Structure 1
Amino acid sequence: MTEQSQEILENFQVRKSTGQKRAFRAWLRGELEGAGWAVTEESGRFSGTNVIAGDPEKAEVLFTAHYDTQAVLPIPNFLTPRNMGIYLIYQLLLVVGLLAALTAVTVCAVAIRAAADLPLWAGTLPGWLLCVFCVWWVFFGRANRHTANDNTSGVVTLLEAALTLPPELREKACLVFFDNEERGMLGSAAFAGRHRQVKKETLVLNFDCVSDGSSIQFYPTAALKKDEAALARIERAFLPQNGKTVEVVRGFGFYPSDNASFRRAAGVCALKRGKRLGWYLDRIHTGRDTVFQEENIALLTGGIRRILAEEEPAP
């Protein structure tokens, strides 16, 4: 792993506030430009600022990752991309827990209002305030200081590729570091809106949470699943190594990340396997997001080089 990637792990894991993002972008631009990349930025009022290395309109493949980080939460964002039932049960339990807390707060407030003969609104106000606070915290709460997997791993993957790609392959690639994925994929949506042809036609590989798991999995969009040649090309490029497996998921599977902003895209993640859970992703959005398996990054950067080196099939 390059010393630049080590710098991110040591000094730039928190990229949440305006100032933190600005400092990271300035450092990132310096490293990319120093390596010979043409770097631009695209900004929007709500989408934040995306950093783009290369020309997206000319690139054969777009490699992406979001660089913004999230608030620290008491409960992890738990994903089971191939088991919708367990995923929905987990989300339902979160809702039930929140409703239970709201009910308890409201019951106490109503009792106090009745005893103190306060106005009617005094009984419901605490519950509303709790709802507002929870929503505010998810988007604007205290930054998580540990973001090794989500999504420092994706950022490092792109930077490692940028620094190690041979010159003859760079014109085929564009690397995009998206802002505000954690606030609803706003950065990638804005990028896709500005680059409509890229959105519709270009192959996009989005790296999000790729450093904590034994299996690197690609979750293609519906349109990409119909392109067997592109799926086979991905499989030829990203090869198992160091005990890590690789799978392009052709059946049911979902991965909610910036890949959803593009037609021919795949979300790339690292997953662990449980006997009853199947493939899952945990720890993210909490202080336990500290696992960074360098062999995963090496597998992915090697795959990026190979997919660019392979000639596109004739139409």
Structure 2
Amino acid sequence: MRESSKILLDKYQVRKSTQQKEVFADWISSHLKEYGYDVKRDNYSKNGTNLVVGDIDKADVMLTAHYDTQANFYFPIFMGFSNWISFFLSQLWTLIPMILVLIVIVVISNVWHLDLGAKLIISLLGLFGYNMFVSYSAANKHTANDNTSGVATLLSIMEDLPIELREKVCFVFFDEEESGLIGSMAFNKKHKNIINEKPMINFDCVSDGETLYFVTKKQFRESFFSDLLELSVVTTLKDSSKDYQFGSAFKNVYTSDQIFYKNSVGVCAAKRAPLFGYYIDRVHTKRDTIFDPENIRLLSQIMIVFLHKI
């Protein structure tokens, strides 16, 4: 495991509060300065800051990952994404705690013989309280895959990227992905005229799975960048035990920061179950501890080969 990944896991794995994110931003600014990079803090709100490295105007491509982390969900979670059925089932699964809250409220309301209006008010308050708990409870201390792995991938690329290739790429570390993709939306809104046609490759949850999965939007698939990326993947993984898959963003419902960008690719590491398809699990819980350095190394190498080709 490279040193920057080890430091991330040992010292900066929790990046939920404003203070925690500022401490991380200070470290990454200092670390990347040693490699000749300048980290710009792009503030879009009182508590929201994207970290930008490179010239967005001149860059040929954007490489991105969100750096914020989430609260501890306490409930086993998995996310199916390689077909609409698995996506729908995984969304239903995440609603189970909310349904249990409603069942408890209904039982208590019946015991207290409350009228319909009171039941509705208590139900709404219960759901609001549940959502507040999920959003603002204690920070998850284990974020190896989501998304310390994405941050580690960008750092690995930047550390190994030859100086002559650096002008080709703008790196963006998005804030508040876990709050609803807020940082990436703000960045898109601010720079829309510049980045509307610019290809963007986003890394989220890339260290816990044997298949490197590339979810591509139509505009990217129809560009010459698509062929270059696929060639870079095939070349890099030809002697690797890792598998890879390419899939369209319409069929593969992978909800990360790239969804607001027309010319984009979402990258993750996935597992596969018969019939169900490809999925991600363990995230948002204390079980998010799997960090495969080989995935990071391979993705970094793929991107450097890709940047050489464009």
TM-score normalised to the size of structure 2?
0.92
Distance 1:212 1:142 in 2: 23
SS in 2 for 1:79: strand
User: Where does 1:118-133 land on structure 2 (aligned, <5 Å)?
Assistant: 125-133=121-129
Q: Structure 1 residue 86: deviation in Å?
A: 2.4
User: Where does 1:52-91 land on structure 2 (aligned, <5 Å)?
Assistant: 52-91=52-91
Q: Any conservation in 2 of the 1:47–1:190 contact (CA below 8 Å)? A: no
Larger radius of gyration between Structure 1 and Structure 2: 1
Equivalent position of 1:9 in the other structure: 9
Q: Any conservation in 2 of the 1:37–1:53 contact (CA below 8 Å)? A: yes
SS in 1 for 2:214: strand
Q: Indicate how the Cα distance of structure 1 residues 76 and 261 shifts in structure 2: closer, same or farther if over 3 A, else same.
A: farther
Equivalent position of 1:187 in the other structure: 183
Structure 1 stretch 207-216 or stretch 128-137: which is displaced more? 128-137
Equivalent position of 2:159 in the other structure: 163
Equivalent position of 2:195 in the other structure: 199
**Superposed CA offset, 1:230-273 (max 9, x none):** 21110112231531122222472121000112111000000011
**Superposed CA offset, 1:46-94 (max 9, x none):** 6710001111111111100000001111224422221211221232344
Answering whether residue 252 of structure 2 is matched by residue 253 of structure 1, we say yes
**Superposed CA offset, 1:169-213 (max 9, x none):** 111111110000011111011111111234311111000000011
Gaps of 5+ in 1: none
Q: Indicate how the Cα distance of structure 1 residues 53 and 94 shifts in structure 2: closer, same or farther if over 3 A, else same.
A: closer
Distance 2:225 2:51 in 1: 26
Q: Any conservation in 1 of the 2:146–2:288 contact (CA below 8 Å)? A: yes
Answering whether residue 56 of structure 2 is matched by residue 51 of structure 1, we say no
Gaps of 5+ in 2: none
Equivalent position of 2:270 in the other structure: 271
Q: Indicate how the Cα distance of structure 1 residues 62 and 88 shifts in structure 2: closer, same or farther if over 3 A, else same.
A: same
Q: Any conservation in 1 of the 2:87–2:253 contact (CA below 8 Å)? A: no
Distance 2:93 2:173 in 1: 33
SS in 2 for 1:281: strand
Distance 2:212 2:220 in 1: 18
Q: Which residue of 219, 223, 232 maps to 2:227?
A: 232
**Superposed CA offset, 1:290-312 (max 9, x none):** 111111001011011111111x3
Q: Any conservation in 1 of the 2:147–2:205 contact (CA below 8 Å)? A: yes
Q: Indicate how the Cα distance of structure 1 residues 47 and 65 shifts in structure 2: closer, same or farther if over 3 A, else same.
A: farther
Structure 1 stretch 167-176 or stretch 76-85: which is displaced more? 76-85
Q: Indicate how the Cα distance of structure 1 residues 191 and 113 shifts in structure 2: closer, same or farther if over 3 A, else same.
A: same
Matched AA of 2:40: T
Distance 1:308 1:89 in 2: 37
Equivalent position of 2:286 in the other structure: 287
Q: Structure 1 residue 102: deviation in Å?
A: 1.0
Q: Indicate how the Cα distance of structure 1 residues 46 and 103 shifts in structure 2: closer, same or farther if over 3 A, else same.
A: farther
Q: Any conservation in 2 of the 1:71–1:140 contact (CA below 8 Å)? A: yes
Q: Indicate how the Cα distance of structure 1 residues 77 and 94 shifts in structure 2: closer, same or farther if over 3 A, else same.
A: closer
Distance 2:185 2:97 in 1: 32
Alpha-carbon RMSD = 2.0
Distance 1:290 1:93 in 2: 21
Equivalent position of 2:213 in the other structure: 217
Structure 1 stretch 76-85 or stretch 52-61: which is displaced more? 76-85
Q: Which residue of 170, 173, 177 maps to 1:177?
A: 173
Q: Indicate how the Cα distance of structure 1 residues 152 and 93 shifts in structure 2: closer, same or farther if over 3 A, else same.
A: closer
Q: Indicate how the Cα distance of structure 1 residues 171 and 70 shifts in structure 2: closer, same or farther if over 3 A, else same.
A: same
Q: Indicate how the Cα distance of structure 1 residues 47 and 198 shifts in structure 2: closer, same or farther if over 3 A, else same.
A: farther
